[in-house]
Amino acid sequence: MISDSVRRRLGAAAALALAAGLVVGCSSSDDAAGDAADAGGAYRIWDPYPQFDTGSDWVKLLTKCGTDAGVAVERTGYDTTDLTNKALLAAQQDNSPDVLIVDNPVVSTLADAGVLTATDEVKVDTAAVSPNLLAAGQLGGKTYGVPIGANTLALYYNKKILDAAKVDPAAIKDWAGLTAALAKVKAAGKKGITFSAIGTEEGSFQFLPWFWGSGASLTQLDSPQAVSALSLWTDWLKRGYAPNSVLNNTQTTSWQEFAAGDFAFGENGTWQLANAKKTGFEYGIIAIPSSAGGTAPAPTGGEFVTAPVQTKTARYATSQKLITCLTSADNALTTDTTLSYIAATEAVQRKQVAENPELKVWVDAVQAAKGRTSDDLGTKYPKISQPLWTAFQAALSGSAAPQEALKTAQATAAAATK
Residue ranges per domain, the chain?
Answer: 4-150+301-368, 153-298+378-416
Indicate the fold that domain 4-150+301-368 takes in CATH.
Answer: D-Maltodextrin-Binding Protein; domain 2 (3.40.190)
Which distant-in-sequence residues (6+ apart) come within 8 Å of 252 by Cβ? none
Closest CA to 71 of 26, 39, 38: 39
Q: What is the pLDDT of residue 195?
A: 98
Q: What is the pLDDT of residue 268?
A: 97
Q: What is the pLDDT of residue 23?
A: 37
Q: What is the pLDDT of residue 12?
A: 53
Q: What is the pLDDT of residue 14?
A: 52
Q: Which residues of the chain have pLDDT under 50?
A: 1-2, 4-6, 8, 16-34
Residue 337 one-letter amino acid: T
CATH number of 153-298+378-416: 3.40.190.10
Q: What is the pLDDT of residue 221?
A: 98
Closest CA to 291 of 179, 370, 203, 198: 179
The three-state (H, E, C) secondary structure of 45-108, written as one string: EEECCCCCCCCCHHHHHHHHHHHHHCCCEEEEECCHHHHHHHHHHHHHCCCCCCEEEEEHHHHH
> Is the fold of 4-150+301-368 the same as that of 153-298+378-416?
yes
Are the C-beta atoms of residues 58 and 335 closer than 8 Å to each other? yes
Are the C-beta atoms of residues 64 and 330 closer than 8 Å to each other? no
Q: What is the pLDDT of residue 87?
A: 76
